Structure 1
Amino acid sequence: MTLGENIRELRKKKGLTIEALADELNSSYSTIGMYELDKRKPDYDMLCKFAEYFNVTVDYLLGVKKKSILSASDLYKEFIEQKVPIEKLADNIGISADTLFKILKSEEGATEADYYRLCKWLGYSEEKAEEFYLRNSPLTNKSFRFTQNLDFIPVPVLGLIRAGQPAFAEENNEGYYPTDRQFISDDHEYFYLRIKGDSMDKEFKEGSLVLVQIQSTLESGEIGVVLINGFDATVKKVFIRDNLITLMPQSNNEDHQPQTYDTVKEEIKILGKVVLAVKKY
């Protein structure tokens, strides 16, 4: 639908005449009529008035909502065609004009959070916001294009998981690793964790990546990622009997010994199951 068609549809949903809408927006009958016939385009300030009044995004009014996710360059062209003032737009989004230009031109200097602020303003879902970021950030777009072409998907790589901190906190994220879709289930979320130390060196050398399927339970004998008593996450073979959980190292270093915990008395949190390893030799 065109901009004019969207305005007309929203007006009718509210049960308003053109004259009534013009009064609400301090405009004129003829001006609103021209907008609805797509014979005149409202300026940016007027677009914002429409968006606020109808409780929709400017992006929705322009019809972007009904398109597939735009590239940053296409979005930039659309803003230029609609004569949207970038400085004012950036202020509304909550980022600097310089940062917005960097996003629209896919240049370095904009953070992931900046991309998400723009996507929120555009009305994108969290999933679409992530795709927009992966497509357009100079830090990720090469990997994203590669994974799109070869039936791979990008999975976040975490250097560590700290207790009391969200697993996907920005400071933990090292980037993304392309992963064959055959190892990924649509029913679960995943992340890679980088192995540190030698407590599992019979299975994974230090620096290897393990693909973790996020889940809160494990079968006895599976290798999982576990938080114990507020310490950073650890990767171990896990054995479970009643309310006892034993973390079994798989190490050539005899300093690493099995540790058993009572889940009733101690704080135990299972984060997920290791389903794949990218080993370092």
Structure 2
Amino acid sequence: MNGKRLKALREERGLTQKELAEKLDLTPKAISFYELGLREPSGDALIHMARILGTTTDYLLGNSSNKSPDQKAGGRGVRIPVLGRVVAGIPIDAIEEILDWEEIPREMAATGDFFALQVKGASMEPTLRDGDVVIVKKQPTVDSGDIAIVLVNGNDATIKEIKESPAGITLIGHNVAVFTPHFYSNKEIEELPVRVIGKAVEVRRKL
């Protein structure tokens, strides 16, 4: 994170540390730490920062001298982080957890908050394969039949199809040889807990 650039952009936009912090749902102290180079923002906070300040994440990170989003290659997309794992603290606090970046259309980015997650394992084959990158829209609920990112008992998130019923939800892996459908009662959903943190909206696969 280039703290000097963050401070300069914030002041150009006429924002105090407190005002920027409020827009990001952070504390003024966190903004101060970012500007002093004492702490790195999460990938989610970095993306929000770039949107609010009208710049790119690359510019804030010091990887590009292009301040305007429209000066990026193509100028058509918004970059989102590809995460190797998602835990209870989503968004992940350490920028080092970001594996790569993907670009999504600006029209899509305007509809909500997005991140990307790298698929691990074969439980969702053939729909999703090990190494695929799934574009995820952050949301706490999905419709029955959707593929969701689900956090169970605070452990690493899993990518599964959701089937809802009055008694609870079932997580379904498309490769039944690897993952047997698992049912969670409404009581288990509350007590474990079981939490939906996003909906898979697109898969990207490298040949």
TM tier relative to shorter chain: 0.5 to 0.7
Matched, 1:160 2:85: yes
Matched, 1:278 2:204: yes
Report the residue type matching 1:275 in the other structure.
V
Which residue is 2:184 aligned to? 261
1:224–1:273 Cα contact (<8 Å) kept: yes
Whichever structure has more strand as a proportion of its residues is: 2
- Following superposition, the deviation at residue 178 of structure 1 comes to 1.6
1:147–1:178 Cα contact (<8 Å) kept: no
1:140–1:176 Cα contact (<8 Å) kept: no
2:50–2:57 Cα contact (<8 Å) kept: no
Looking at structure 1, the residues matched to 157 and 71 of structure 2 have their Cα atoms a distance apart, in angstroms, of 31
Looking at structure 1, the residues matched to 58 and 122 of structure 2 have their Cα atoms a distance apart, in angstroms, of 33
- Following superposition, the deviation at residue 250 of structure 1 comes to 1.0
Report the residue type matching 2:156 in the other structure.
D
Normalised TM-score (structure 1): 0.51
Report the residue type matching 1:94 in the other structure.
L
Out of 133, 137, 147, the residue aligned to residue 213 of structure 1 is 137
* Secondary structure of 2:151's aligned partner: strand
Report the residue type matching 1:173 in the other structure.
I
- Following superposition, the deviation at residue 140 of structure 1 comes to 6.2
Going from structure 1 to structure 2, the CA distance change for 1:197 and 1:261 (only over 3 Å counts) comes to: same
Q: Which has the higher contact order (CA 8 A, sep 6+)?
A: 2
Which residue is 1:176 aligned to? 101
- Following superposition, the deviation at residue 236 of structure 1 comes to 0.5
Going from structure 1 to structure 2, the CA distance change for 1:157 and 1:265 (only over 3 Å counts) comes to: same
Highest CA radius of gyration, 1 or 2? Answer: 1
Looking at structure 2, the residues matched to 224 and 172 of structure 1 have their Cα atoms a distance apart, in angstroms, of 21
2:134–2:203 Cα contact (<8 Å) kept: yes
**Cα RMSD for the two superposed structures:** 3.4
Normalised TM-score (structure 2): 0.68
Which residue is 1:188 aligned to? 112
Show structure 2 runs of 5+ residues with no match: 1-6, 15-34, 42-48
- Following superposition, the deviation at residue 234 of structure 1 comes to 0.4
Which residue is 2:76 aligned to? 151
Out of 55, 58, 61, the residue aligned to residue 137 of structure 1 is 61
Show structure 1 runs of 5+ residues with no match: 1-57, 67-92, 97-110, 114-124
1:200–1:236 Cα contact (<8 Å) kept: yes
2:115–2:136 Cα contact (<8 Å) kept: yes
Going from structure 1 to structure 2, the CA distance change for 1:130 and 1:209 (only over 3 Å counts) comes to: farther
